[in-house]
Structure 1
Amino acid sequence: MLDCVSLCVIISLISLLTLAGYILYSGLLSEIIVLTGSPPIKKIIFAYKFKQGPYKNCGQLFQESHSIGPKLSCIGVFYDDPKKVPGPQCRYAVGSILSEGENKADEELFKSYETSGFNVVSFPEVTHVVTTSFPHRTFLSIVLGVSRVYPKLEHYIKKRRLCAHPFLEIYREGLIHFMAPLARQGDFYVPEVCRVEQRQSEEELHSDSDVSGADSNSEYSSGSGVLLSDSRETSLAGSSVRSVPLQDQEERHCRGRSSGGNSLKELDWEQTCGQWAEKEELLHGDSDQKSLEAPTQSCWGVVEEEEE
């Protein structure tokens, strides 16, 4: 018979092998191939809740959204780089895809999400995105995927000097699809981001008016590009509000940046918010039946030519 020490050693070895197998199964050694190409999703109607705070808290929204529509694909959109934006100010939207392409949204699910306090917005289908995928087999897959994928996205975007933002995570059919659009980026910003930016700009202007002769917010008033981290707390960096003609904004938005993306603070807010007002009127108008479709904005992003 085995003595207690030998038995403990065997149990420990079995436990270690089981843990190692679990980690490997979760995607520890899975190959990650980052590409520029077609997106993993078509145009979608997206039921979401917007939050401002550390990205580590987004799991609660994923669970809430999944509980309402367990058969629907979940999606998260992350707008800020926590290396440059304090955790409490990071912005994200999490929810479920109600419909994709030409498919119609289920009215009962639509009402269920609406009753639970979710808003609805449409995202367009774009022709080019930076994208990759990672296995979604266990809860650990999310942690491994986020920690392994974003550094590779950072390297890919910086090497090719692309303008790619915001960052989306789509959970469907056993995979986590990561993507960042290379065009029409403004269409992937939910209206609440616009409101937050307006409020912050008003606070900054009020703060600046109290300090005579002071520079406007020192280095924090200058735009900053995306700097991907090795955690989910990753997206695009915050920057200050500027009222600039759209053509000039597009040129400044991407040129000369080592990595992609600015926040909507560098867009013309009268134009941006005016277009969102039109969308919201269509989505929540006084017609007998709410329209689940919304027109998309003109192309705001720039697809830069890739290096060979």
Structure 2
Amino acid sequence: MSEWTSLCVAVSLFLTISILAGYFLYSGLLSDIIILTGSSPIRKLMFVYKFKEGPYKKCAELFKEANRIGPELSCIGIFYDDPTKVPGPQCRCAVGSIVSEGEDKADKELLKCYETAGFKVFSFPEVTHVVTTSFPHRTVFSIPLGVKRVYPRLESYIKDRKLCAHPFLEIYSNDVIHFMAPLARQGDFYVPEARLAERRLPEQEELDSDSEISGADSNSECSSGTGIFLSASRETSLVASSTRSESIRDNGYANHTGKSSRDRSLVETDWKRNNQERDQFKKGSSQVSLDRVPHLLGAVGGEE
């Protein structure tokens, strides 16, 4: 009898393990994760949200609240900070539901229900350049499995290619979770509360003081609130920063003197040429005239 009991226990244990293994496999445990750079999987959209500061694990209640009001709608979460770099209580996110996509119109009655519950309305543009991947959304375990498996791959992909991608979006449809981070127009993905609560990392403060660009306000620059902050190694970002700085310096010069940078270049060229002529004159050249020198000296002196 004891042998029969042991056999039953062994069979039950095997079946239980097999069922659990099958369940987790179905949830996406071994699903391929293919990360792409290209067009967004979603069009421009309007969504309702609640903003929250705190550990991301506490966002589940906001997802549940949004889903209770519009169970047929796709949920969305926007995460602005890297929890490995920003303390949990300071992590920012916006969670809610997508009420319309593309040219579709939002249901006014449903929109009113969300607003009554304290949700706010915001819109995202359609962007042509994003880092994106998808993960099966089949069971309740698909969400933690997706988060644990996708983000390390995304971070490695972005770092290897020296990209600047932020913030990170999670869009939950009936059977798929879309993970996405825009590579352009990133400032358009910051809800007003996220901008107000924005904090800067020390290294980003130093970078911005050098480049004269302010993080999230730029369409393609990284801010300290990004899920992955890589602008220090992003070649295109450094080029943009250099171009912006030159533009600011030239504008400041033109505003001060009333002349363009091209005019300044011409003056400097003439100045150098006349210096050469003056040197030749001192050496005894009779073919050189210094008539223009006083005028140029006056012009340069006035520009200073």
Decide: shared fold, TM above 0.5.
yes
Q: Give the Cα–Cα distance (whole angstroms) in 1 for the partners of residues 54 and 37 of structure 2.
A: 30
2:123 is aligned with 1:155: no
Specify the alignment match of 1:42 in structure 2: 43
Q: Give the Cα–Cα distance (whole angstroms) in 1 for the partners of residues 60 and 172 of structure 2.
A: 13
Segments of 5+ residues of structure 1 without an aligned counterpart are 202-219, 225-238, 262-308
Change (3 A) 1:99 1:259: farther
Percent identity among equivalent residues?
A: 61
CA contact (8 A) 1:163 1:260 kept: no
> Equivalences for 1:201-240 in 2 at 5 Å?
220-223=201-204
- Any idea what SS the aligned residue of 1:223 has? helix
Larger Rg computed on CA atoms: 2
Q: Give the Cα–Cα distance (whole angstroms) in 2 for the partners of residues 32 and 69 of structure 1.
A: 29
CA contact (8 A) 1:38 1:129 kept: yes
CA contact (8 A) 2:184 2:220 kept: no
Specify the alignment match of 2:169 in structure 1: 168
Q: Give the Cα–Cα distance (whole angstroms) in 2 for the partners of residues 146 and 76 of structure 1.
A: 12
- The aligned amino acid for 1:85 is V
Q: Normalising by the residue count of structure 1, what TM-score does the alignment of the two structures yield?
A: 0.68
Segments of 5+ residues of structure 2 without an aligned counterpart are 223-229, 238-304
Report deviation, 1:257.
2.4
Specify the alignment match of 1:94 in structure 2: 95
Q: Which has the higher contact order (CA 8 A, sep 6+)?
A: 1
- The aligned amino acid for 2:233 is R
Report deviation, 1:221.
2.2
Report deviation, 1:195.
1.7
Change (3 A) 1:249 1:48: closer
Between Structure 1 and Structure 2, the one with more helix by share is 2
Specify the alignment match of 1:82 in structure 2: 83
Report deviation, 1:66.
0.4
Report deviation, 1:122.
0.5
Which deviations, in whole Å up to 9, do the C-alpha atoms of 1:87-131 show, x marking residues without a partner?
000000000000000000000110000000000001000011000
RMSD: 2.8
Please identify runs of 4+ aligned residues in structure 1 that moved more than 4 A. Answer: 239-243, 245-255, 258-261
Q: Give the Cα–Cα distance (whole angstroms) in 2 for the partners of residues 93 and 260 of structure 1.
A: 29
> Equivalences for 1:1-308 in 2 at 5 Å?
3-197=4-198, 220-223=201-204, 244-245=212-213, 253=222, 255-257=231-233
- The aligned amino acid for 2:37 is T
CA contact (8 A) 1:44 1:124 kept: yes
CA contact (8 A) 1:134 1:145 kept: yes
- The aligned amino acid for 2:149 is R
